[in-house]
Structure 1
Amino acid sequence: MTIAITGATGNIGGAVAHALAAAGTPFRMLVRDPSRAPELPGAEVAVASFADVDASRRALEGVDLLLMVSGAEAEDRLAQHRAFVGAAATAGVQHVVYTSFAGAAADATFTLGRDHWATEQAIRATSMAHTFLRDSFYLDFVEDLVGEDGVIRGPAGDGAMAAVARADVARVATEVLLHPSAHLDRTYDLTGPVAITLAEAAAIVSEVRGRPVSYHEETLDEAYASRAKWDPEPWQADAWVSTYTAIAEGVLAPVSGDVERVTGRRPMILREVLEAR
């Protein structure tokens, strides 16, 4: 079985690429910039972007199993995803493993969750088998929410999130790629082992880093106003703010055991992620 992966220059795709190489499994990396592709034993490089249908089709010729790591946030990301899915189906790919988002739905509170749902539907509409990895919020990103003043600000209320480590997502993806027949047409909810509020997350960051970190609840108006200094496009501002409102509504609170069921290993907690950085 020929395996291809996207996102090999990023966090999750890169971790999967290194894991496959360590396992002695040959694979193909689809990258936009070949100079950034990691040099790994058993790996070949093909150049393509999601939006370039012809290049994607050529890059995927002869591929049976594809890890499709969702593309970088962009206003046209869904159009890029749909183009790439069509190219994969035309190229003869048999099975797509796609990194989606927890609570993906047509009316998801987190606006980008709607794009993930639409991408899932595009894959389902083909003859390709699928495995959807619905990742929760990333634990790795929690520390990046802390402002220069040591405050996490957002309209998350006292909602909790069962955030997951990128390393655990990569471990699940690797297991699926190594044993795909056991995961055909399955959807996995990838979460951490416990749900925490942003106030609890701030306290953990503060303790591990040895500096004061706190959480301040914003109103919706305050959230949009405090992010205006970055001059985001409307879709980006909506995505940023709806990350917090999804937490407030409890969308990200459910804890799943899928990471451990697939990998046999308990998923990481925030403290472990911070200490590993």
Structure 2
Amino acid sequence: MSAAHIAVTGSTGAVGGLVARALSEAGEPTRLLVRDPARAPRLERSDVREASYGDRDAVGRALDGVSTVFMVSAAESAERLEEHRTFIDAAAAAGVEHVVYTSFQGAAPDATFTLARDHWATERHLEDSGMAWTFLRDSFYLDLIPLFAGDDGVIRGPAGEGRVAAVARHDVAAVGTRVLLDGTSHRDMSYTLTGPEALTLAEIAATVTRVTGREVSFHDETIEEAYASRSVWPAPQWQYDAWVSTYTAIARGEVAEVSGDVERVTGRAPLSLERVLRSAER
């Protein structure tokens, strides 16, 4: 097998796994960085290296000889930003030239969605790293929003009549794959990745009901109610803030922009909620 010049993180998850498979199908030698090699997908033209984001030495060894990295944001934790910085510093020291990072729509230091602030700080660290970068600023995932409904079929949160231009994970992966395969043409570019429309949570609930037959509705909580209803799950304060600000970001219109970047990069329109739901049923 030829030496891999592209490394993919997150291949045991949805987006990274889709990217890794697409590169393999395209005949691209790929290096997969995983925390648990036993869970890595078995793909042609790929080799597996063990490394976690917070282990600078392991990351450096795993990225030796790699020129481009697909960097899926780390799992939500209080240490995520520090893990991102450690990974980026190790990649730069290993000679990586280009990092493609899955960021978030509207990432900013004062974003309502608290985790979007970490994405903004990660973007700044990448810009200062000396490496080229591409930011895939994806909206909330279209595939996951229907799962916000509890066992009783109710989506609860302080989103009001705000809209969200949620994007299918398949489309994020398709953009990421194209950026990786196209090489230098997407360097130092930011793309906002959304679906084809911005929907209220009430509209999302109605679509889920119509397409799947499961009765789903939306209940607009107050912020106080939202914190109280989530307190049944033991969690640190930052996690409660992230959960609730998912909805307040929607209420404030911070994820309502519909972008044409998915089609601009891939040449095809992004998937709608109905198409995602019907695909999941097959």
Query: C-alpha root-mean-square deviation of aligned residues, in Å?
Result: 0.7
Q: Which residue of 2 aligns with 1:224?
A: 227
Q: CA deviation at 1:90?
A: 0.5
- Cα distance in structure 1, aligned partners of 2:161 and 2:6: 42
Among candidates 207, 212, 221, match of residue 209 of structure 1: 212
Deviations 1:146-190 (A, max 9, x none): 111111000001000000000000000000000021101000000
How do 1:74-223 residues align onto structure 2 when only pairs under 5 Å count?
A: 74-223=77-226
- Cα distance in structure 2, aligned partners of 1:97 and 1:211: 37
For 1:206, what is the secondary structure of its paired residue? helix
- Cα distance in structure 2, aligned partners of 1:3 and 1:144: 33
For 2:191, what is the secondary structure of its paired residue? strand
- Cα distance in structure 1, aligned partners of 2:173 and 2:276: 14
For 2:171, what is the secondary structure of its paired residue? helix
Q: Which runs of 4 or more aligned residues in structure 1 lie more than 2 Å from their structure 2 counterparts after TM superposition?
A: none
- Cα distance in structure 1, aligned partners of 2:184 and 2:57: 29
Matched letter for residue 157 of structure 2 = G
Structure 1's unaligned 5+ residue stretches are: none
Among candidates 16, 20, 23, match of residue 19 of structure 2: 16
Deviations 1:69-101 (A, max 9, x none): 001111110010000000000001000000000
Deviations 1:36-74 (A, max 9, x none): 011100001111000000000110111100000001111
Matched letter for residue 113 of structure 1 = A
- Cα distance in structure 2, aligned partners of 1:193 and 1:211: 23
Percentage identity across aligned positions? 62
Deviations 1:89-130 (A, max 9, x none): 000100000000000001110000000000001100111000
- Cα distance in structure 2, aligned partners of 1:212 and 1:171: 31
TM-score, scaled to structure 1: 0.99
Q: CA deviation at 1:142?
A: 1.3
- Cα distance in structure 2, aligned partners of 1:180 and 1:195: 31
Matched letter for residue 88 of structure 2 = V
- Cα distance in structure 1, aligned partners of 2:45 and 2:146: 35
- Cα distance in structure 1, aligned partners of 2:238 and 2:189: 30
TM-score, scaled to structure 2: 0.97
Q: CA deviation at 1:32?
A: 0.5
Q: Which residue of 2 aligns with 1:68?
A: 71
For 1:51, what is the secondary structure of its paired residue? coil
- Cα distance in structure 1, aligned partners of 2:144 and 2:278: 14
Matched letter for residue 167 of structure 1 = H
Structure 2's unaligned 5+ residue stretches are: none
- Cα distance in structure 1, aligned partners of 2:234 and 2:49: 35
Matched letter for residue 103 of structure 2 = S
Q: Which residue of 1 aligns with 2:61?
A: 58
Matched letter for residue 259 of structure 2 = S
Matched letter for residue 275 of structure 2 = E
**Matched length:** 277
